[in-house]
Structure 1
Amino acid sequence: MSQAKFVAGIHAPANHPNDANRKITRCTAFILSKTEIITNAHCVYDAPYVYVVAGTKVVSDANQKIKIKVEKENIAWHPHYSRLIFGAFDIAKITLKTPLEFSDTVGSIELVGKDYKLNNQSEVVTVYGYSRLNNTGPSILRRCDANYISGVERANTFKPSKVLYFTTGEATNDGKIITPGDSGGPVVSKTNGKIVGITNGINGTTGGRGAFLPITLFLDFIHDPKSVKPIPPPLTPNEAKFIADITAPAKFLTAYKKDFADANETYQLKFNAIILSKTEILTCAHSVLGAPYVYVTVNKLSRNATELKVTEDQIEIHQKYELSGFAFDIAKITLKEPLEFNDNVGSIDLVDKDYKMNDPSEMVTVYGDVILDGTMRTRRYDTKYLDGAKCKPKLSAAFDANHLMCYTLDESMGTSSTVGGPMISKKNNKLVGITIFRSGGKPVIFQPIAPLLDWILKSKVGPNQRRRMALKKGF
């Protein structure tokens, strides 16, 4: 225990989001000082109180040398943390009212500085955790050595890419590097003996690799949790009920073939979409053009998200869309099986055909995915739309001010990443536009809906006619 005296255990009374019957969350933490404990946010999030356990190799009800109860007001999780996004900002700080008494079996560990770089793949780290080797047994302190993988492999196997992976090393006991209970534990450099990361969990999609967050990203929060400004929360599933996602194999998309010609079919690009009815989905033409199939995800923010495969015969591209421009960049997907509407899946009404976007003081709400501190989140924000003529000087010659309009984006609210999201009028709560293009430092282009209502509401074009239109345009 003297070799791992900085490792602590966390017990929290909380229902697990994936297991309603689980009453206790057991995690690991590390001791930063006599009053500061660091762990994962998901270990303590919304718990009315937690217990901090220190100075023991085995954590069980019968074997706890030090057990301190900490109330909710002394627990701070990162203000950007969301349960809906695995790994993102998953860190929390516990402040003890009564200082720990340091001894041979209870002590602290230092953090690396802000300038520390995790860029040497040959560097070995040691991972510590109170592992639960079975569902009913105690939590046993273990450690194992591991290497972290490259940023390129990281980005290709998991997002957000700022979550780093360490590969399986020589672990004790059962040979597993990470097991339940290890979340929140320290990752220590064998070079300098300091904390370089915090264990986040296991990502089964990458062969069960353990994931940890680089501690350098959270030094400001650790030193002063109040120094990190909170951002408006991401949307709840109910608030995003009419938003869907489109994922398409990049190598087939006409607009991206040059960039992803050598990619394999599993490399997918994601776009937003809009649920118009139980069988109709609206998105951008360039998001689906050329793809032999795409996947539509509804109830996207829920753990019960539904993914549907759609083939090209179910996709209609607006006949006036040209790849070289932005106008008429719209497509409609017709589902073969109707969606089941519920609290988290629903539709949005369209504006009337005579609706005119000619009041610059009117506020609209834009929905879509944005990137905040490297993490993708589905957000909404209010803005005012601008006449296309005002944006044209700032945009490329391909911008058609006769058919398109634009809006500005507050960069502090995040960087727009995915297009295809809806623009809703705050006046009548109906769909007035669809975002189609975003370029850094420039206004965001959107397509007004009212001029396209005849096309949106008419019967779907058959697959043969769609192919003729595509061939005519040379796609």
Structure 2
Amino acid sequence: MSQAKFVAGIHIPANHPNDPNGKVTSFCTAFILSKTEIITNAHCVYDAPYVYVVAGTKVVSDANQKIKIKVEKENFVYHPYYSHLIFGAFDIAKITLKTPLEFSDTVGSIELVDKNYKLNNPSEVVTAYGYGVLKNIGPSILRRCDANYISDVERANTFKSSQTLYFTTGEATNDGAILTPGDSGGPVVSKTNSKIVGITMGINGTTGGRGAFLPITLFLDFIRDPKSVKPIPPPLTPNEAKFIAEITAPEKFLTAYKEDFADADEDTQLQFDAIIFSKTEILTCAHGVLGAPYVYVTVNKLSRNATKLKVTEDQIEIHEKYSLSGLPFDIAKITFKEPLEFNDNVGSIDLVDKDYKMNDPSEMVTVYSDVVLDGTMRTRRYDTKYLDGAKCKPKLGAVFDANHLMCYTLDESMGAPATFGGPMISKKNNKLVGMTLIRYSGKPIIFQPIAPLLDWIRKPKNHPFRKNILGNDLNVASISHFVRRVICDQTKVFAISQSSTTICE
């Protein structure tokens, strides 16, 4: 124990979620960060009414322990992004002891690596400690195992990708086992600097007994101050998202993605959001429907009773000023042939007035979007503020047109929009003020203001100024990334191009 005095054990009482039959006390491993701070896996304490922390022992399953401290539920906290349904994601918890441990030759603490520590050197050796049970029988005895990191290439070929998982492999030193039940939550220590580099999470039995652990560098802020990590807003209920629809479009046909998905088949679908503003009309991004002969619109998307409607290209209208070479006017309107049936989970959102001004950085707005952060995609909402256009331009560069677009930022620890076409709603009047267009990693998120486009949104499809100068229907086609707009009428062609005149067939 003098060699592993920083290792602690966790006794989890019966009726814990890991023991659905409620008969057996289970065990986990932990490590001692200070006299009052213990770190372990979240799944070891999740939903437990209390746990016992034991220290200075080689056999954690012994009934009579010299150091055994009961810790009530309110004194341990797991990462706010943790989900017991998803293996590995944010699986870390901190236990705070009201009564400090007494350090001795067999009880002590260990330091953490710095935030800039790199875990990508396959030649570096680490040591995993844990109170694993061999062959699922016998006592939970403290053991250790030396291992190496798996290279990024091998890890990508062997395991599902994850932002929070790294894997180790190595020769077992204890009866042929690397990791066994009870090792969860144990420390992974660098042999180079004798500091904690990770927390053991589990074992993948299908890959030769390779173990999984969380890199500690991702969780230093949480360990130092759990309250500093803001919780993810909870998923929305169907009623709260009743004005949000989902668009599914075949990537094969989408003009904006033809280069990216040149080999895609018709079954490969791109998903994004849309906004219901009447029983027959919804708004979405132009680049997500341009070129599609059809799309599917799903309403009541968060409910088991979701309704999926097929919409053909004659029901899709792209703003005549939209161009693939830029983001302004990136808006489309879809008109249903049959009106939607509104209910508690399907409804509309009002549009702001034309004179609504979006230049007050202090005004709060709510953004709705699908977000992937806890391992699954959820529709959530976030409160944020507008950014001054002068601050957006330097950060976004030429892609940002301050005359037609605006931007906002989000705390990226809470996630960021994973889909476009989602609504932005004013907290002042609860009306639609914008639609998310695109985001670039680490930069403000661009959105399309609604107020300047109200005339276009509200005008009927057969409005006079939808006719070209020859009196025929306007036919707008996006020929390439360089052609801005092509207007065709039998033998006459009007083209605005950066390179050359384009002939329409």
Q: Same fold, TM exceeding 0.5?
A: yes
The one of 374, 382, 386 aligned to 1:380: 382
**1:19 to 1:11, Cα distance in 2 relative to 1, 3 A:** closer
**Corresponding residue for residue 188 of structure 1:** 189
AA at the equivalent of 2:446? V
Whether 1:234 aligns to 2:233 is: yes
Question: When the two structures are aligned, how many residues end up with a matched partner?
Answer: 447
Q: Tell me, yes or no, if the aligned pair for 2:277 and 2:350 is still in contact at 8 Å.
A: no
Superimposed CA distance per residue, residues 70-90 of structure 1 (whole angstroms, 9 cap, x where no aligned partner): 234543445666668765554
User: Kindly, what percent of the aligned residue pairs are identical?
Assistant: 64
**1:151 to 1:298, Cα distance in 2 relative to 1, 3 A:** farther
AA at the equivalent of 2:448? F
**Corresponding residue for residue 447 of structure 2:** 445
AA at the equivalent of 1:190? K
**1:116 to 1:411, Cα distance in 2 relative to 1, 3 A:** closer
Q: Tell me, yes or no, if the aligned pair for 1:199 and 1:211 is still in contact at 8 Å.
A: yes
AA at the equivalent of 1:129? G
Q: Tell me, yes or no, if the aligned pair for 1:294 and 1:309 is still in contact at 8 Å.
A: no
Q: Tell me, yes or no, if the aligned pair for 1:383 and 1:409 is still in contact at 8 Å.
A: yes
**1:247 to 1:356, Cα distance in 2 relative to 1, 3 A:** same
- SS of equivalent to 1:358: coil
Superimposed CA distance per residue, residues 30-73 of structure 1 (whole angstroms, 9 cap, x where no aligned partner): 12344331113443356543211334555447465542102345
The whole-number CA distance in structure 2 between the counterparts of 1:271 and 1:109 is 47
> How do 1:393-432 and structure 2 match up within 5 A?
396=398, 399=401, 405-409=405-409, 416-418=416-418, 419-427=420-428, 429-432=430-433
**Corresponding residue for residue 53 of structure 1:** 54
In structure 1, runs of 5+ residues without a counterpart are 457-468
AA at the equivalent of 1:191? T
Q: Tell me, yes or no, if the aligned pair for 1:298 and 1:305 is still in contact at 8 Å.
A: no
**Corresponding residue for residue 147 of structure 1:** 148
How far does residue 411 in structure 1 lie from its aligned partner after superposition?
5.7
Superimposed CA distance per residue, residues 165-202 of structure 1 (whole angstroms, 9 cap, x where no aligned partner): 21444447897755554332211223343321112446
AA at the equivalent of 1:124? V
- SS of equivalent to 1:32: strand
AA at the equivalent of 1:229? S
In structure 2, runs of 5+ residues without a counterpart are 462-473, 481-505
How far does residue 10 in structure 1 lie from its aligned partner after superposition?
2.1
**Corresponding residue for residue 478 of structure 2:** 473
The whole-number CA distance in structure 2 between the counterparts of 1:31 and 1:297 is 50
The whole-number CA distance in structure 1 between the counterparts of 2:21 and 2:297 is 32
The whole-number CA distance in structure 2 between the counterparts of 1:473 and 1:374 is 37
- SS of equivalent to 2:228: coil
**1:390 to 1:64, Cα distance in 2 relative to 1, 3 A:** closer
**Corresponding residue for residue 463 of structure 1:** none
The whole-number CA distance in structure 2 between the counterparts of 1:248 and 1:68 is 57
How far does residue 425 in structure 1 lie from its aligned partner after superposition?
3.6
AA at the equivalent of 2:8? A
The whole-number CA distance in structure 1 between the counterparts of 2:400 and 2:367 is 23
AA at the equivalent of 2:167? F
> How do 1:52-201 and structure 2 match up within 5 A?
52-56=53-57, 58-60=59-61, 62=63, 66-78=67-79, 87=88, 89-101=90-102, 106-131=107-132, 141-151=142-152, 161=163, 163-171=164-172, 178=179, 181-201=182-202
**Corresponding residue for residue 358 of structure 1:** 356
Q: Tell me, yes or no, if the aligned pair for 1:437 and 1:446 is still in contact at 8 Å.
A: no
Higher mean alpha-carbon deviation, 111-120 vs 148-157, is at 148-157
Higher mean alpha-carbon deviation, 113-122 vs 291-300, is at 291-300
The whole-number CA distance in structure 2 between the counterparts of 1:18 and 1:453 is 56
**1:390 to 1:189, Cα distance in 2 relative to 1, 3 A:** closer
AA at the equivalent of 1:120? N
Superimposed CA distance per residue, residues 96-115 of structure 1 (whole angstroms, 9 cap, x where no aligned partner): 33344556764443433444
- SS of equivalent to 1:286: helix
Q: Output the TM-score relative to the length of structure 1.
A: 0.66
CA-based RMSD: 5.9
Whether 1:37 aligns to 2:38 is: yes
The whole-number CA distance in structure 2 between the counterparts of 1:205 and 1:432 is 51
The whole-number CA distance in structure 2 between the counterparts of 1:196 and 1:70 is 26
The whole-number CA distance in structure 2 between the counterparts of 1:426 and 1:256 is 34
The whole-number CA distance in structure 2 between the counterparts of 1:21 and 1:96 is 29
**Corresponding residue for residue 465 of structure 1:** none
- SS of equivalent to 1:350: coil
How far does residue 351 in structure 1 lie from its aligned partner after superposition?
1.9
**Corresponding residue for residue 464 of structure 1:** none
**Corresponding residue for residue 7 of structure 2:** 7
The whole-number CA distance in structure 2 between the counterparts of 1:205 and 1:315 is 51
Superimposed CA distance per residue, residues 205-243 of structure 1 (whole angstroms, 9 cap, x where no aligned partner): 999964322223444554x426x6343642334386456
**1:424 to 1:203, Cα distance in 2 relative to 1, 3 A:** farther
The whole-number CA distance in structure 2 between the counterparts of 1:232 and 1:221 is 11
Structure showing greater radius of gyration is: 2
**1:235 to 1:295, Cα distance in 2 relative to 1, 3 A:** farther
AA at the equivalent of 1:236? P
Q: Tell me, yes or no, if the aligned pair for 1:53 and 1:64 is still in contact at 8 Å.
A: yes
Q: Tell me, yes or no, if the aligned pair for 2:236 and 2:381 is still in contact at 8 Å.
A: no
**Corresponding residue for residue 349 of structure 1:** 348
The whole-number CA distance in structure 1 between the counterparts of 2:206 and 2:313 is 30
The whole-number CA distance in structure 2 between the counterparts of 1:168 and 1:146 is 5
**1:246 to 1:50, Cα distance in 2 relative to 1, 3 A:** farther
Superimposed CA distance per residue, residues 305-359 of structure 1 (whole angstroms, 9 cap, x where no aligned partner): 999999997997544454223324447699xxx99x99xxx4451326x843524
Q: Tell me, yes or no, if the aligned pair for 1:129 and 1:141 is still in contact at 8 Å.
A: yes
AA at the equivalent of 2:39? I
> How do 1:182-261 and structure 2 match up within 5 A?
182-201=183-202, 210-222=211-223, 224-225=224-225, 229-231=228-230, 233-238=232-237, 241-242=241-242, 254-256=255-257, 258=259
The whole-number CA distance in structure 2 between the counterparts of 1:282 and 1:135 is 57
**1:295 to 1:83, Cα distance in 2 relative to 1, 3 A:** farther
The whole-number CA distance in structure 2 between the counterparts of 1:356 and 1:92 is 50
Q: Tell me, yes or no, if the aligned pair for 1:295 and 1:308 is still in contact at 8 Å.
A: no
How far does residue 445 in structure 1 lie from its aligned partner after superposition?
2.1
